Amino acid sequence: MGQAREVMDRLTDAVTTHPDLRTLGELYAEDAVAVTPDGGEIHGRDGIVEYWRQMTDAIPDGTYESVHAYEVGDTAIDEGFFSGHNTGPIQLPSGETIPATQKEIKIRGVDFATVRDGKIVEYRLYFDEMEFLGQLGLLPPS
């Protein structure tokens, strides 16, 4: 296992099994960039840690089920399912907050972490935001 895979596995653990914002901060380079469907492009370690804080606050019992895990050079790639219950408020990009729905979610996603000198310098997360909102019951009836 290479460095990128080890750092990605620590990231997954710090978001799900053992939520830990301090560990999350230690995993990202100060000038890291993250791209997510719901947060857009986030510049800097502090902004990325804030993104994860909002996610772990909204779904504190989040778990991850791996489907595929790869490492190519300095990049780790994961595909899997993120599951949990929405028991905390959801912060929208607009700054609005939605109260917890108490609904269970299970969404498939893929993420990429490019690592240099033991730190994530670029992170990309992909998941179907409409599926996520639908499972939370936040979409109008069709």
Which tens digits make up the pLDDT trace of 37-68? Answer: 999 999 999 999 999 999 999 999 999 999 99
- HSE value, Cβ hemisphere, 13 Å, CA-based, for 71: 12
Average pLDDT over residues 18-46: 96
CA-CA distance, 56 to 51, in Å (whole number)?
9
Both tokens of 14, joined, read 């710090």
CA-CA distance, 98 to 100, in Å (whole number)?
7
Per-residue pLDDT reduced to its tens digit, 68-126: 999 999 999 999 999 999 999 998 778 889 999 999 999 999 999 999 999 999 999 99
- Side chain identity at 82, as an amino acid letter? F
Q: Is 139 or 81 the better-scoring residue by pLDDT?
A: 81
3-state secondary structure string, 52-73?
Answer: HHHHHHHCCCCEEEEEEEEEEC
pLDDT at 141: 82
